[in-house]
A = this chain, B = another copy of it.
Amino acid sequence: MQIKQPDITRDKILLSAFCEIHRQGFQAASIANILQYTHLTKGALYHHFPTKQALGLAVIEEVIKVQFEAMFFKPLRESEHPIKLLLDSIANINSKVPADFILLGCPLNNLMQEMSALDELFQLQLAGVLEIWKKTIEDALLRGKKMGEIRAEIDHKSAALFIVSAWEGCIGVAKNMQSPKAFEVCMMQLHGYIRSLMQENAKKLQR
């Protein structure tokens, strides 16, 4: 089964829109610019997407969500040692995420801050991705409990919410400072927070 030409065109628009939105934000993203990079025209864009809003929502669902799924969610879900993977990912964060994610910000966080209060569809779509992230970490913490790594009395839902929030906060502040180094330092404190959720005897195993 081969990939249809229209789907290629659609993907080209989505990818170009993602890049433009990542750099300029959604509202400032220019449809003219998006098209320029693809060498397509408005006819193509408005054939595949009824409005700019629909294009933006599709970027969240089909580009951003997919990226997060591949980079964070899937590895963590499928890991045999989720707590170890979580801690290692955070400790080596700058090798895990591209530099653009810090200098331009996290695409998810950027859109959350820009659009959540302005457009309910954006808010819901973004909240959906965030919810998956949160649930994935909740599940990791829960499995950590069963493996005797995470203390039983920990409120894993609150902890997961905080981990995601702090994570985005670290990127956000590092973006302002334009400093991947600050991101690294900041994430090491999040590393410390997660370690504070662990059983004492399990900490030794995790360097």
Contacts and interface: CB of A to CB of B under 8 A. Distances in A.
A79 interface: no
Interface residues of A, number: 47
Given A25-B27, A104-B117, A113-B105, A170 B178 contact: no
**Which one of A130, A162, A190 has the highest number of Cβ atoms from chain B below 10 Å of its Cβ?**
A162
Interface of A: 23-25, 27-28, 103-105, 109-110, 112-114, 116-118, 123, 126-127, 130, 158-159, 161-162, 164-170, 172-178, 182, 185-186, 188-190, 192-193, 196
Copies in the complex: 2
Contact of A113 (B118, B175, B188): B175
A161 B189 contact: yes
**Which one of A24, A164, A169, A189 has the highest number of Cβ atoms from chain B below 10 Å of its Cβ?**
A169
**Which one of A24, A103, A172 has the highest number of Cβ atoms from chain B below 10 Å of its Cβ?**
A172
